[in-house]
Amino acid sequence: MKKFIAPSVLAADFANLQRDIEMINNSEAGWAHIDIMDGVFVPNISFGLPVTEAINKHSKKPLDVHLMIVQPERYLEAFKKAGAEVLSVHIEACPHLHRTLQQIRELGCKAGIAVNPHTPISALEEVIADADMVCLMSVNPGFGGQKFIENTYSKISRLKDLIIQKNSSALIEIDGGVNAQNARKLTDLGADVLVAGSFVFNSPDPLKTIAELQRSIQ
């Protein structure tokens, strides 16, 4: 499968959201990544269902929705209706993760497991076969623009080994601190999807930045 970039809308200009979504549409990105934060699971609040619906009206890319919220199972159907094609829930927020992954798949979405930096890969052993993707957080969730956590490199290798061992087809997504310096190393180790926020939207030419990141991982 082709490896690709998923620009994070959290880093977009909210006053010009349609413009930035159209930029993603015209880019070489594979998905548009949307972070949903509730101020409880993470110490920040982003946006919710109405903004996701508004993004979906303009987006031509699949919406990769990352639920950084408590009790995500209560909102799965609503986010599917809002346009999500990929739904990721945090392993740390789901006491019945297997059931939640089944719910996501029954809705017709790809089921993702998001994993905080401190959570060991071994925690995924019993559920990796039921996931379409694992989103490894390479920063502490809640805020954009943070420095990449170096331990992520070894976590990718351990996750890749587990995916092979369990005969899973799960993609590996990296979220946080992705830039031109680390993108190729991440995909060489086994990552499939790279979420890039600040590095893309804070650049002078986001369209060019996405194209350069995409070329670097081919």
CB hemisphere CA count around 150 (13 angstroms): 0
Active site residue 175: yes
Taking the chain, what is the end-to-end CA distance rounded to the nearest angstrom? 11
Closest to 156 measured CA to CA, from 170, 141, 142: 170
Structure tokens at 10: 């959290």
Annotated catalytic residue, options 20, 35, 130, 132: 35
Query: Which one is catalytic: 64, 130, 132, 175?
Result: 175
130 is catalytic: no
Contact (CB, 8 A) for 162 and 121: yes
Active site residues: 35, 175
